[in-house]
Amino acid sequence: MKPLERDAAHLWDMLDAAQQAAEFAAGMELDQLLADARTRYAIERALEIVGEAARRVSPDTMSRHPEIPWQGIIGFRNVLAHEYGDIDYRRLYTVIREGVPVMIVALRRILDSIESP
pLDDT tens digits, 71-112: 999 999 999 999 878 889 999 999 999 999 999 999 999 999
Q: Is 38 a catalytic residue?
A: no
**pTM for the whole thing?**
0.92
Q: Rounded CA gap, 69 and 113, in Å?
A: 19
How many distinct structural domains can be found in the chain? 1
| pLDDT at residue 117 tops 60 | no
Q: Rounded CA gap, 104 and 89, in Å?
A: 21
Q: Is 10 a catalytic residue?
A: no
Check 77, 91, 97, 108 and give the catalytic one.
77
Cβ-Cβ contacts under 8 Å for 17 (sequence gap 6 or more): 46, 47, 49, 50, 53
Check 82, 90, 97, 108 and give the catalytic one.
82
pLDDT tens digits, 1-36: 565 789 999 999 999 999 999 999 999 999 999 999
90: domain range? Answer: 3-115
pLDDT for the residue numbered 2 = 64
